[in-house]
Structure 1
Amino acid sequence: MFSAIKLLIARRFPSLLQGSNRKFDSYAASRQEIKAFSNAAEREIEKLFYFHSGRCIHKWAHYLEVYEREFALLRGATIRFLEIGVSEGGSLELWRRYFGEKAIITGIDINPACRSRVDPPNKVRIGSQTDAGFLADVVEEMGGPLDVILDDGSHVASHILITFNLLFPRLRTGGLYVIEDMHTSYWAEIFGGGYRRKGTAVELGKTLVDDMHGWYHDNGQEQLDKTEIASVRFYDSILVIEKGNVAEPRHIKVGSDE
Protein backbone atom coordinates (compact mmCIF):
# COMPACT_ATOMS: atom_id res chain seq x y z
CA MET A 1 0.00 0.00 0.00
CA PHE A 2 2.85 2.41 0.77
CA SER A 3 5.03 2.75 -2.31
CA ALA A 4 8.78 3.15 -2.35
CA ILE A 5 8.30 6.70 -3.63
CA LYS A 6 6.14 7.67 -0.67
CA LEU A 7 8.53 6.07 1.81
CA LEU A 8 11.49 7.95 0.36
CA ILE A 9 9.60 11.24 0.50
CA ALA A 10 8.45 10.53 4.04
CA ARG A 11 12.05 10.12 5.18
CA ARG A 12 13.40 13.21 3.44
CA PHE A 13 10.44 15.61 3.51
CA PRO A 14 8.05 14.41 6.24
CA SER A 15 6.15 17.71 6.37
CA LEU A 16 4.85 17.17 2.83
CA LEU A 17 2.91 14.10 3.94
CA GLN A 18 1.22 15.54 7.00
CA GLY A 19 -2.07 16.35 5.28
CA SER A 20 -2.52 13.03 3.54
CA ASN A 21 -1.19 11.09 6.54
CA ARG A 22 -3.86 12.58 8.81
CA LYS A 23 -6.56 11.46 6.39
CA PHE A 24 -4.95 8.03 5.99
CA ASP A 25 -4.17 7.34 9.64
CA SER A 26 -7.68 8.17 10.80
CA TYR A 27 -8.91 5.00 9.07
CA ALA A 28 -6.48 2.60 10.75
CA ALA A 29 -8.31 -0.39 12.25
CA SER A 30 -8.01 -0.96 15.99
CA ARG A 31 -6.89 -4.30 17.40
CA GLN A 32 -10.46 -5.03 18.41
CA GLU A 33 -11.67 -4.33 14.86
CA ILE A 34 -8.97 -6.53 13.36
CA LYS A 35 -9.96 -9.37 15.68
CA ALA A 36 -13.61 -8.93 14.71
CA PHE A 37 -12.74 -8.92 11.01
CA SER A 38 -10.67 -12.09 11.32
CA ASN A 39 -13.35 -13.88 13.35
CA ALA A 40 -15.92 -13.04 10.67
CA ALA A 41 -13.73 -14.14 7.75
CA GLU A 42 -15.64 -16.44 5.40
CA ARG A 43 -14.19 -15.86 1.94
CA GLU A 44 -11.01 -17.72 1.05
CA ILE A 45 -9.07 -14.51 0.39
CA GLU A 46 -10.11 -13.18 3.81
CA LYS A 47 -8.90 -16.31 5.58
CA LEU A 48 -5.59 -16.22 3.71
CA PHE A 49 -5.12 -12.54 4.61
CA TYR A 50 -6.11 -12.50 8.27
CA PHE A 51 -4.18 -15.66 9.13
CA HIS A 52 -1.14 -14.74 7.05
CA SER A 53 2.15 -15.12 8.94
CA GLY A 54 4.68 -14.31 6.20
CA ARG A 55 5.97 -11.00 4.93
CA CYS A 56 3.97 -7.87 5.74
CA ILE A 57 0.78 -7.17 3.76
CA HIS A 58 -1.01 -3.84 4.13
CA LYS A 59 -4.54 -3.67 2.69
CA TRP A 60 -7.87 -1.96 3.28
CA ALA A 61 -10.31 -4.47 4.76
CA HIS A 62 -12.99 -3.89 2.13
CA TYR A 63 -10.55 -4.75 -0.68
CA LEU A 64 -10.78 -8.44 0.23
CA GLU A 65 -14.40 -8.73 -0.90
CA VAL A 66 -13.49 -7.00 -4.15
CA TYR A 67 -10.63 -9.43 -4.78
CA GLU A 68 -12.90 -12.42 -4.19
CA ARG A 69 -15.54 -11.02 -6.52
CA GLU A 70 -13.12 -10.17 -9.31
CA PHE A 71 -10.54 -12.96 -9.06
CA ALA A 72 -12.39 -16.06 -7.81
CA LEU A 73 -12.90 -17.57 -11.27
CA LEU A 74 -9.16 -17.33 -11.98
CA ARG A 75 -8.07 -19.55 -9.10
CA GLY A 76 -6.17 -22.65 -10.10
CA ALA A 77 -5.68 -21.44 -13.69
CA THR A 78 -2.45 -20.70 -15.55
CA ILE A 79 -2.83 -16.95 -15.40
CA ARG A 80 -0.26 -14.20 -15.84
CA PHE A 81 -0.57 -11.78 -12.91
CA LEU A 82 1.52 -8.60 -12.72
CA GLU A 83 1.51 -6.49 -9.56
CA ILE A 84 3.04 -3.02 -9.65
CA GLY A 85 4.37 -2.16 -6.20
CA VAL A 86 6.01 -4.91 -4.11
CA SER A 87 6.64 -3.10 -0.80
CA GLU A 88 7.49 -5.80 1.77
CA GLY A 89 6.54 -8.65 -0.56
CA GLY A 90 3.63 -10.04 1.43
CA SER A 91 0.99 -9.47 -1.23
CA LEU A 92 2.93 -11.64 -3.69
CA GLU A 93 2.78 -14.43 -1.12
CA LEU A 94 -0.95 -13.87 -0.75
CA TRP A 95 -1.55 -14.06 -4.50
CA ARG A 96 0.50 -17.27 -4.75
CA ARG A 97 -1.57 -18.96 -2.07
CA TYR A 98 -4.80 -17.69 -3.57
CA PHE A 99 -4.20 -18.42 -7.26
CA GLY A 100 -2.14 -21.59 -6.87
CA GLU A 101 1.03 -23.01 -8.36
CA LYS A 102 -0.03 -22.71 -12.01
CA ALA A 103 -0.11 -18.91 -11.87
CA ILE A 104 2.74 -16.85 -13.29
CA ILE A 105 3.16 -14.04 -10.75
CA THR A 106 5.59 -11.14 -11.08
CA GLY A 107 5.95 -7.95 -9.07
CA ILE A 108 7.76 -4.78 -10.12
CA ASP A 109 9.12 -2.01 -7.92
CA ILE A 110 11.66 0.81 -8.12
CA ASN A 111 13.20 -0.16 -4.78
CA PRO A 112 16.17 -2.56 -5.29
CA ALA A 113 15.61 -3.98 -1.80
CA CYS A 114 12.47 -5.66 -3.12
CA ARG A 115 14.64 -8.21 -4.94
CA SER A 116 15.04 -10.07 -1.67
CA ARG A 117 11.35 -9.94 -0.78
CA VAL A 118 10.19 -12.78 -2.98
CA ASP A 119 10.25 -16.56 -3.01
CA PRO A 120 10.17 -18.71 -6.17
CA PRO A 121 8.24 -19.30 -8.29
CA ASN A 122 7.21 -15.64 -7.84
CA LYS A 123 9.54 -13.07 -9.37
CA VAL A 124 10.38 -9.42 -8.75
CA ARG A 125 11.81 -7.08 -11.37
CA ILE A 126 13.28 -3.71 -10.50
CA GLY A 127 12.34 -0.73 -12.64
CA SER A 128 9.96 2.18 -13.12
CA GLN A 129 6.28 1.76 -13.88
CA THR A 130 6.63 4.56 -16.43
CA ASP A 131 9.53 2.96 -18.35
CA ALA A 132 8.07 1.60 -21.60
CA GLY A 133 11.03 -0.61 -22.43
CA PHE A 134 11.22 -2.09 -18.94
CA LEU A 135 7.50 -2.91 -18.88
CA ALA A 136 7.65 -4.46 -22.35
CA ASP A 137 10.52 -6.70 -21.25
CA VAL A 138 8.65 -7.82 -18.13
CA VAL A 139 5.52 -8.72 -20.10
CA GLU A 140 7.58 -10.60 -22.67
CA GLU A 141 9.36 -12.54 -19.93
CA MET A 142 6.00 -13.47 -18.45
CA GLY A 143 4.86 -14.80 -21.83
CA GLY A 144 2.16 -12.15 -22.23
CA PRO A 145 -0.45 -10.96 -22.91
CA LEU A 146 -1.38 -10.68 -19.26
CA ASP A 147 -4.56 -11.79 -17.49
CA VAL A 148 -4.45 -9.37 -14.56
CA ILE A 149 -2.53 -6.13 -14.08
CA LEU A 150 -2.78 -4.63 -10.59
CA ASP A 151 -1.39 -1.12 -10.14
CA ASP A 152 -0.52 -0.62 -6.47
CA GLY A 153 2.58 1.38 -7.32
CA SER A 154 3.44 5.02 -6.72
CA HIS A 155 -0.22 6.19 -6.76
CA VAL A 156 1.00 9.37 -8.46
CA ALA A 157 -1.68 10.43 -10.93
CA SER A 158 0.63 10.95 -13.89
CA HIS A 159 2.37 7.60 -13.27
CA ILE A 160 -0.95 5.74 -13.17
CA LEU A 161 -2.03 7.18 -16.51
CA ILE A 162 1.31 6.49 -18.22
CA THR A 163 1.34 2.92 -16.93
CA PHE A 164 -2.24 2.34 -18.06
CA ASN A 165 -1.46 3.59 -21.56
CA LEU A 166 1.60 1.34 -21.76
CA LEU A 167 0.15 -1.83 -20.28
CA PHE A 168 -3.53 -1.97 -21.23
CA PRO A 169 -2.58 -2.93 -24.81
CA ARG A 170 -0.62 -5.86 -23.29
CA LEU A 171 -3.69 -7.21 -21.50
CA ARG A 172 -5.52 -10.13 -23.10
CA THR A 173 -9.13 -9.82 -24.19
CA GLY A 174 -11.18 -10.65 -21.11
CA GLY A 175 -8.32 -9.60 -18.83
CA LEU A 176 -8.62 -7.25 -15.86
CA TYR A 177 -6.77 -3.98 -15.27
CA VAL A 178 -7.03 -3.02 -11.59
CA ILE A 179 -6.01 0.32 -10.07
CA GLU A 180 -5.84 0.39 -6.26
CA ASP A 181 -5.88 3.18 -3.69
CA MET A 182 -7.81 5.63 -5.85
CA HIS A 183 -8.49 7.77 -2.77
CA THR A 184 -5.08 9.30 -3.54
CA SER A 185 -6.81 10.87 -6.57
CA TYR A 186 -8.22 13.42 -4.12
CA TRP A 187 -4.89 14.26 -2.44
CA ALA A 188 -2.80 16.99 -4.07
CA GLU A 189 0.29 16.43 -1.93
CA ILE A 190 2.70 13.97 -3.55
CA PHE A 191 0.04 12.25 -5.65
CA GLY A 192 -1.02 15.10 -7.95
CA GLY A 193 -4.68 14.64 -7.09
CA GLY A 194 -7.62 16.92 -6.41
CA TYR A 195 -11.40 16.77 -6.47
CA ARG A 196 -12.44 16.26 -10.10
CA ARG A 197 -8.91 17.09 -11.20
CA LYS A 198 -8.20 15.93 -14.72
CA GLY A 199 -5.61 13.17 -15.07
CA THR A 200 -6.32 11.22 -11.88
CA ALA A 201 -7.35 7.56 -11.69
CA VAL A 202 -10.90 8.52 -10.73
CA GLU A 203 -11.22 10.81 -13.75
CA LEU A 204 -9.68 8.11 -15.95
CA GLY A 205 -12.46 5.78 -14.88
CA LYS A 206 -15.11 8.38 -15.66
CA THR A 207 -13.60 8.96 -19.08
CA LEU A 208 -13.65 5.24 -19.79
CA VAL A 209 -17.36 5.13 -18.95
CA ASP A 210 -17.93 7.78 -21.62
CA ASP A 211 -15.67 5.91 -24.05
CA MET A 212 -17.57 2.66 -23.43
CA HIS A 213 -20.79 4.45 -24.38
CA GLY A 214 -19.25 5.93 -27.52
CA TRP A 215 -21.89 4.13 -29.57
CA TYR A 216 -24.44 6.64 -28.36
CA HIS A 217 -22.67 10.01 -28.61
CA ASP A 218 -20.63 11.87 -31.22
CA ASN A 219 -17.81 13.12 -29.00
CA GLY A 220 -15.32 10.40 -29.91
CA GLN A 221 -13.29 8.27 -27.51
CA GLU A 222 -10.74 10.07 -25.37
CA GLN A 223 -8.86 7.15 -23.84
CA LEU A 224 -9.90 3.82 -25.43
CA ASP A 225 -12.01 2.73 -28.35
CA LYS A 226 -15.51 1.65 -27.37
CA THR A 227 -14.85 -1.83 -28.77
CA GLU A 228 -12.08 -2.43 -26.20
CA ILE A 229 -14.09 -1.85 -23.03
CA ALA A 230 -16.25 -4.71 -21.78
CA SER A 231 -16.96 -3.06 -18.44
CA VAL A 232 -15.77 -0.41 -15.99
CA ARG A 233 -16.37 -1.26 -12.34
CA PHE A 234 -15.95 1.24 -9.51
CA TYR A 235 -15.45 0.22 -5.90
CA ASP A 236 -14.32 2.34 -2.96
CA SER A 237 -10.72 3.16 -3.97
CA ILE A 238 -10.54 0.42 -6.64
CA LEU A 239 -11.14 0.67 -10.38
CA VAL A 240 -11.48 -2.50 -12.48
CA ILE A 241 -11.45 -2.27 -16.29
CA GLU A 242 -12.30 -5.45 -18.18
CA LYS A 243 -10.83 -5.56 -21.67
CA GLY A 244 -13.26 -6.64 -24.35
CA ASN A 245 -13.79 -7.25 -28.02
CA VAL A 246 -17.17 -5.57 -28.14
CA ALA A 247 -19.47 -5.83 -31.13
CA GLU A 248 -21.78 -3.00 -32.15
CA PRO A 249 -24.87 -3.22 -29.93
CA ARG A 250 -28.26 -4.28 -31.26
CA HIS A 251 -31.68 -3.93 -29.65
CA ILE A 252 -34.10 -6.79 -30.18
CA LYS A 253 -37.82 -7.14 -29.75
CA VAL A 254 -39.40 -10.56 -29.07
CA GLY A 255 -42.95 -11.67 -28.44
CA SER A 256 -46.10 -10.41 -30.11
CA ASP A 257 -47.32 -6.82 -30.16
CA GLU A 258 -50.79 -6.13 -28.82
Structure 2
Amino acid sequence: MSLRNWVKSCVPPAVLARLRAIRARFAPPHPIQAFVYSDAREVREDIARKYGEVGDMLTYFAGHDVGVVHKWHHYIPLYERYFAPYRGRPVRLLEIGVSKGGSLWMWRRYFGPDAVIYGIDIDPACAAYDGVAGQVRIGSQVDVAFLHRVVDEMGGVDIVLDDGSHLMEHLPVTLEALFGRLSDGGLYMVEDLHTAYWREYGGGYGSRRNFFRYVDGIIADMHRWYHRHKLVHPAVSARCTGIHIHDSMVILEKGPVYPPVSSQVGTEAPASPN
Protein backbone atom coordinates (compact mmCIF):
# COMPACT_ATOMS: atom_id res chain seq x y z
CA MET A 1 0.00 0.00 0.00
CA SER A 2 1.31 3.42 -0.93
CA LEU A 3 1.88 6.04 1.78
CA ARG A 4 -0.94 8.15 0.32
CA ASN A 5 -3.44 5.26 0.47
CA TRP A 6 -2.27 4.35 3.98
CA VAL A 7 -2.92 7.89 5.19
CA LYS A 8 -6.35 7.88 3.55
CA SER A 9 -7.21 4.61 5.29
CA CYS A 10 -6.31 6.08 8.69
CA VAL A 11 -8.01 9.47 8.40
CA PRO A 12 -11.82 9.67 8.75
CA PRO A 13 -13.61 10.56 5.47
CA ALA A 14 -15.06 13.75 6.97
CA VAL A 15 -11.58 14.97 7.87
CA LEU A 16 -10.29 14.12 4.38
CA ALA A 17 -13.15 16.07 2.82
CA ARG A 18 -12.36 19.06 5.01
CA LEU A 19 -8.68 18.92 4.08
CA ARG A 20 -9.56 18.78 0.37
CA ALA A 21 -11.81 21.82 0.78
CA ILE A 22 -9.04 23.76 2.51
CA ARG A 23 -6.53 22.79 -0.19
CA ALA A 24 -8.93 23.84 -2.92
CA ARG A 25 -9.54 27.19 -1.22
CA PHE A 26 -5.88 28.12 -1.24
CA ALA A 27 -4.92 26.45 -4.52
CA PRO A 28 -3.66 28.75 -7.28
CA PRO A 29 -6.31 29.70 -9.84
CA HIS A 30 -6.66 27.56 -12.92
CA PRO A 31 -5.52 29.23 -16.17
CA ILE A 32 -9.04 29.77 -17.55
CA GLN A 33 -11.43 32.69 -17.64
CA ALA A 34 -14.79 32.02 -16.00
CA PHE A 35 -16.44 35.28 -17.01
CA VAL A 36 -15.50 37.59 -19.86
CA TYR A 37 -18.64 39.33 -21.13
CA SER A 38 -21.12 41.29 -19.08
CA ASP A 39 -24.18 41.75 -21.29
CA ALA A 40 -26.28 39.76 -23.73
CA ARG A 41 -25.09 41.64 -26.82
CA GLU A 42 -21.44 40.86 -26.07
CA VAL A 43 -22.26 37.22 -25.38
CA ARG A 44 -24.12 36.86 -28.67
CA GLU A 45 -21.41 38.64 -30.66
CA ASP A 46 -18.61 36.51 -29.21
CA ILE A 47 -20.39 33.21 -29.90
CA ALA A 48 -21.54 34.23 -33.38
CA ARG A 49 -18.08 35.51 -34.30
CA LYS A 50 -16.36 32.29 -33.25
CA TYR A 51 -18.93 29.66 -34.20
CA GLY A 52 -21.29 31.35 -36.65
CA GLU A 53 -25.05 31.59 -36.28
CA VAL A 54 -25.58 28.37 -34.40
CA GLY A 55 -29.38 28.43 -34.34
CA ASP A 56 -32.05 29.08 -31.76
CA MET A 57 -29.88 27.90 -28.87
CA LEU A 58 -27.81 31.06 -29.23
CA THR A 59 -30.95 33.19 -29.00
CA TYR A 60 -32.20 31.42 -25.88
CA PHE A 61 -28.82 31.56 -24.16
CA ALA A 62 -27.69 35.07 -25.01
CA GLY A 63 -31.17 36.49 -24.45
CA HIS A 64 -31.83 34.60 -21.24
CA ASP A 65 -33.73 36.67 -18.68
CA VAL A 66 -35.28 34.23 -16.17
CA GLY A 67 -33.06 32.84 -13.45
CA VAL A 68 -29.32 32.48 -14.04
CA VAL A 69 -27.68 30.16 -16.55
CA HIS A 70 -23.88 29.89 -16.76
CA LYS A 71 -22.40 28.07 -19.76
CA TRP A 72 -19.10 28.08 -21.60
CA HIS A 73 -19.56 29.73 -24.97
CA HIS A 74 -18.31 26.75 -26.96
CA TYR A 75 -21.10 24.63 -25.45
CA ILE A 76 -23.80 26.55 -27.32
CA PRO A 77 -23.03 25.22 -30.84
CA LEU A 78 -22.61 21.74 -29.34
CA TYR A 79 -26.06 21.89 -27.76
CA GLU A 80 -27.47 22.94 -31.11
CA ARG A 81 -25.67 20.15 -32.95
CA TYR A 82 -26.71 17.33 -30.65
CA PHE A 83 -30.12 18.52 -29.41
CA ALA A 84 -31.64 19.88 -32.64
CA PRO A 85 -32.84 16.42 -33.86
CA TYR A 86 -35.01 16.08 -30.74
CA ARG A 87 -36.99 19.27 -31.27
CA GLY A 88 -40.58 19.10 -32.41
CA ARG A 89 -41.46 16.04 -30.36
CA PRO A 90 -42.11 15.28 -26.66
CA VAL A 91 -38.48 14.67 -25.76
CA ARG A 92 -37.74 13.67 -22.17
CA LEU A 93 -34.71 15.48 -20.72
CA LEU A 94 -33.14 15.00 -17.31
CA GLU A 95 -30.64 17.61 -16.14
CA ILE A 96 -28.43 16.81 -13.18
CA GLY A 97 -27.67 20.05 -11.40
CA VAL A 98 -30.35 22.75 -11.18
CA SER A 99 -28.34 25.52 -9.53
CA LYS A 100 -30.25 28.81 -10.06
CA GLY A 101 -32.85 27.37 -12.40
CA GLY A 102 -31.87 29.25 -15.54
CA SER A 103 -30.97 26.27 -17.69
CA LEU A 104 -34.38 24.66 -17.15
CA TRP A 105 -35.92 27.75 -18.75
CA MET A 106 -33.44 27.57 -21.60
CA TRP A 107 -34.33 23.93 -22.32
CA ARG A 108 -38.04 24.70 -22.09
CA ARG A 109 -37.80 27.49 -24.63
CA TYR A 110 -35.65 25.39 -26.93
CA PHE A 111 -37.62 22.14 -26.83
CA GLY A 112 -41.07 23.64 -26.44
CA PRO A 113 -44.17 22.96 -24.32
CA ASP A 114 -44.43 19.25 -25.15
CA ALA A 115 -41.02 18.37 -23.72
CA VAL A 116 -40.81 16.54 -20.40
CA ILE A 117 -38.09 18.36 -18.49
CA TYR A 118 -36.82 17.34 -15.07
CA GLY A 119 -33.92 18.58 -13.00
CA ILE A 120 -32.37 17.06 -9.91
CA ASP A 121 -30.17 18.70 -7.31
CA ILE A 122 -28.91 17.90 -3.84
CA ASP A 123 -29.61 21.45 -2.65
CA PRO A 124 -33.09 21.69 -1.06
CA ALA A 125 -33.28 25.36 -2.12
CA CYS A 126 -33.65 24.21 -5.73
CA ALA A 127 -37.14 22.94 -4.90
CA ALA A 128 -38.23 26.55 -5.43
CA TYR A 129 -37.92 25.95 -9.19
CA ASP A 130 -40.19 22.91 -9.21
CA GLY A 131 -43.09 23.35 -11.61
CA VAL A 132 -41.75 26.55 -13.15
CA ALA A 133 -40.00 25.52 -16.38
CA GLY A 134 -39.83 21.85 -15.45
CA GLN A 135 -40.08 19.48 -12.54
CA VAL A 136 -37.37 19.50 -9.86
CA ARG A 137 -36.61 16.65 -7.51
CA ILE A 138 -34.19 16.87 -4.59
CA GLY A 139 -31.69 14.05 -4.19
CA SER A 140 -28.15 12.90 -4.86
CA GLN A 141 -26.83 11.93 -8.26
CA VAL A 142 -25.18 8.89 -6.68
CA ASP A 143 -28.41 7.64 -5.11
CA VAL A 144 -29.24 5.02 -7.71
CA ALA A 145 -32.71 4.24 -6.33
CA PHE A 146 -33.56 7.96 -6.41
CA LEU A 147 -32.39 8.27 -10.01
CA HIS A 148 -34.53 5.34 -11.10
CA ARG A 149 -37.59 6.77 -9.33
CA VAL A 150 -37.16 10.06 -11.19
CA VAL A 151 -36.84 8.29 -14.57
CA ASP A 152 -39.91 6.21 -13.76
CA GLU A 153 -41.82 9.40 -12.97
CA MET A 154 -40.68 10.91 -16.27
CA GLY A 155 -41.94 7.89 -18.20
CA GLY A 156 -38.44 7.24 -19.53
CA VAL A 157 -35.61 9.50 -20.63
CA ASP A 158 -34.13 10.47 -24.02
CA ILE A 159 -31.41 12.94 -22.96
CA VAL A 160 -29.38 13.06 -19.76
CA LEU A 161 -27.21 16.11 -19.11
CA ASP A 162 -24.82 15.70 -16.19
CA ASP A 163 -24.00 19.19 -14.94
CA GLY A 164 -23.96 18.15 -11.31
CA SER A 165 -21.12 17.74 -8.84
CA HIS A 166 -18.41 17.17 -11.48
CA LEU A 167 -16.67 14.88 -8.99
CA MET A 168 -14.76 11.96 -10.45
CA GLU A 169 -16.22 9.52 -7.92
CA HIS A 170 -19.76 10.56 -8.85
CA LEU A 171 -19.65 10.64 -12.65
CA PRO A 172 -19.34 6.87 -13.32
CA VAL A 173 -21.98 6.00 -10.71
CA THR A 174 -24.54 8.29 -12.31
CA LEU A 175 -23.63 7.20 -15.84
CA GLU A 176 -23.93 3.50 -15.08
CA ALA A 177 -27.22 4.05 -13.25
CA LEU A 178 -28.85 6.02 -16.07
CA PHE A 179 -27.32 4.91 -19.36
CA GLY A 180 -29.31 1.70 -19.38
CA ARG A 181 -32.50 3.70 -18.83
CA LEU A 182 -31.94 5.86 -21.91
CA SER A 183 -34.18 5.22 -24.89
CA ASP A 184 -32.53 3.85 -28.01
CA GLY A 185 -31.29 6.83 -29.98
CA GLY A 186 -30.82 8.75 -26.74
CA LEU A 187 -27.89 10.89 -25.63
CA TYR A 188 -25.91 11.05 -22.41
CA MET A 189 -23.93 14.28 -22.09
CA VAL A 190 -21.36 15.04 -19.38
CA GLU A 191 -20.08 18.59 -19.28
CA ASP A 192 -17.51 20.69 -17.40
CA LEU A 193 -15.00 17.86 -17.63
CA HIS A 194 -12.06 20.21 -17.24
CA THR A 195 -12.54 19.12 -13.62
CA ALA A 196 -11.12 15.75 -14.66
CA TYR A 197 -7.72 17.45 -14.45
CA TRP A 198 -8.31 19.13 -11.07
CA ARG A 199 -7.30 17.33 -7.92
CA GLU A 200 -9.94 19.03 -5.79
CA TYR A 201 -12.55 17.21 -7.88
CA GLY A 202 -10.78 13.89 -7.54
CA GLY A 203 -9.05 14.09 -10.91
CA GLY A 204 -5.62 15.13 -12.08
CA TYR A 205 -3.43 14.96 -15.14
CA GLY A 206 -2.56 11.28 -15.57
CA SER A 207 -4.71 10.28 -12.58
CA ARG A 208 -6.39 6.88 -12.74
CA ARG A 209 -9.58 8.57 -11.48
CA ASN A 210 -9.64 11.07 -14.34
CA PHE A 211 -13.00 10.52 -16.05
CA PHE A 212 -11.33 10.40 -19.44
CA ARG A 213 -9.57 7.24 -18.26
CA TYR A 214 -13.03 5.78 -17.69
CA VAL A 215 -14.06 6.85 -21.19
CA ASP A 216 -10.95 5.16 -22.55
CA GLY A 217 -12.29 1.91 -21.13
CA ILE A 218 -15.55 2.40 -23.03
CA ILE A 219 -13.59 3.00 -26.22
CA ALA A 220 -11.73 -0.29 -25.70
CA ASP A 221 -15.07 -2.02 -25.08
CA MET A 222 -16.50 -0.63 -28.31
CA HIS A 223 -13.63 -2.33 -30.14
CA ARG A 224 -14.10 -5.64 -28.34
CA TRP A 225 -14.44 -7.42 -31.66
CA TYR A 226 -10.76 -6.89 -32.32
CA HIS A 227 -9.19 -7.95 -29.01
CA ARG A 228 -9.70 -10.73 -26.48
CA HIS A 229 -10.23 -8.72 -23.32
CA LYS A 230 -13.43 -8.58 -21.27
CA LEU A 231 -15.67 -5.54 -21.24
CA VAL A 232 -14.42 -2.94 -18.79
CA HIS A 233 -17.69 -1.04 -18.39
CA PRO A 234 -20.46 -3.36 -19.61
CA ALA A 235 -23.26 -1.27 -18.05
CA VAL A 236 -22.45 1.38 -20.65
CA SER A 237 -20.56 -0.38 -23.42
CA ALA A 238 -23.18 -3.04 -24.12
CA ARG A 239 -25.43 -0.37 -25.72
CA CYS A 240 -23.03 2.48 -26.54
CA THR A 241 -22.88 3.13 -30.29
CA GLY A 242 -20.70 6.23 -30.34
CA ILE A 243 -18.64 8.65 -28.28
CA HIS A 244 -17.98 12.30 -29.07
CA ILE A 245 -15.34 14.21 -27.14
CA HIS A 246 -15.13 17.99 -27.12
CA ASP A 247 -13.43 20.48 -24.84
CA SER A 248 -14.77 19.62 -21.36
CA MET A 249 -17.63 17.57 -22.77
CA VAL A 250 -18.34 13.92 -23.59
CA ILE A 251 -21.46 12.73 -25.43
CA LEU A 252 -22.38 9.05 -25.53
CA GLU A 253 -24.98 7.67 -27.94
CA LYS A 254 -27.31 4.82 -26.98
CA GLY A 255 -28.60 2.10 -29.27
CA PRO A 256 -28.32 -1.53 -30.29
CA VAL A 257 -24.78 -2.75 -30.91
CA TYR A 258 -24.11 -5.31 -33.65
CA PRO A 259 -20.94 -7.20 -34.52
CA PRO A 260 -19.24 -5.49 -37.44
CA VAL A 261 -19.84 -6.91 -40.92
CA SER A 262 -17.65 -6.18 -43.92
CA SER A 263 -18.82 -6.51 -47.50
CA GLN A 264 -17.22 -5.96 -50.86
CA VAL A 265 -19.65 -5.10 -53.65
CA GLY A 266 -19.34 -4.24 -57.30
CA THR A 267 -17.35 -5.75 -60.12
CA GLU A 268 -13.88 -5.17 -61.40
CA ALA A 269 -13.68 -2.94 -64.42
CA PRO A 270 -13.25 -4.97 -67.64
CA ALA A 271 -9.93 -4.79 -69.35
CA SER A 272 -9.71 -2.06 -71.94
CA PRO A 273 -9.78 -3.34 -75.54
CA ASN A 274 -6.58 -2.94 -77.54
Contact in 1 for aligned 2:161/2:191 (Cα 8 Å): yes
Q: CA offsets per residue over residues 19-70 of structure 1, 9 Å max, x none?
A: 37x116x313423797444133722101110011110001100000110010
What TM-score results when the alignment is normalised by the length of structure 1?
0.88
| Corresponding position: 1:141 with 2:147 | no
Shift of 1:179: 0.6
CA contact (8 A) 1:230 1:246 kept: yes
Residue matched to 1:3: none
Which shows bigger deviation, 244-253 or 85-94? 244-253
> Against the structure 1 CA distance between its residues 65 and 243, is the aligned structure 2 distance closer, same or farther, given a 3 Å change threshold?
same
Q: Secondary structure at the match of 2:170?
A: helix
Q: 5+ residue gaps in structure 1?
A: 1-8
Higher relative contact order (CA 8 A, sep 6+): 1
For 1:78-89, list aligned pairs within 5 A. 78-89=90-101
Alignment-derived partner of residue 222 in structure 2: 212
Question: 1:172, CA displacement in angstroms?
Answer: 1.2
Q: 2:92–2:158: 8 Å Cα contact kept in structure 1?
A: yes
Given the alignment of the two structures, is residue 230 of structure 1 paired with residue 241 of structure 2, yes or no?
yes
With structure 2 as the length reference, what TM-score do the two structures score?
0.83
Counterpart position of 1:181: 192
Corresponding residue number in structure 2 for 1:126: 138
- How far apart, CA to CA, are the structure 2 residues paired with 1:246 and 1:203? 22
SS in 2 for 1:198: coil
- Cα separation, 2, equivalents of 1:50 and 1:63: 12
Q: 1:219 to 1:28 in 2, by over 3 A?
A: same
3-state SS of the aligned residue for 1:77? coil
1:209–1:31: structure 2 CA closer, same or farther, 3 Å change rule? same
What per-residue deviation string (whole Å, max 9, x for no partner) do you get for residues 214-250 of structure 1?
1111112101375511101101001000012021111
- How far residue 166 of structure 1 moved from its aligned partner, in angstroms, is 0.9
CA distance in 2, matches of 1:149, 1:120: 19
Separation of aligned partners in 1, 2:230 and 2:175: 19
Q: Deviations over 1:135-189 (max 9, x none)?
A: 1110110011x10011111011011111111111111111111111111000011
Residue pairs, 1:1-258, within 5 angstroms:
13=21, 16-19=24-27, 22-23=29-30, 26-31=32-37, 35-39=41-45, 40=48, 42=53, 43-120=55-132, 122-144=134-156, 146-189=157-200, 191-224=201-234, 226-257=237-268
In structure 1, C-alpha distance between the alignment counterparts of 2:210 and 2:181, rounded to whole Å:
21
How far apart are 1:17 and its partner, in Å? 3.3
Q: 1:194 to 1:121 in 2, by over 3 A?
A: closer
Structure 1 SS opposite 2:68: coil
Quickly say closer, same or farther: Cα 1:161–1:226, change in 2 above 3 A: closer
CA drift of 1:203 comes to 1.6
Number of aligned residues: 245
What residue identity is the alignment partner of 2:30? K
Q: What amino acid maps onto 1:199 in structure 2?
A: R
AA aligned to 1:55 is G
RMSD: 2.3
Percent identity between the two aligned chains = 42
| Aligned partner of residue 241 in structure 1, secondary structure | strand
**Alpha-carbon distance change, 77 to 210 in structure 1, aligned in 2, over 3 angstroms:** same
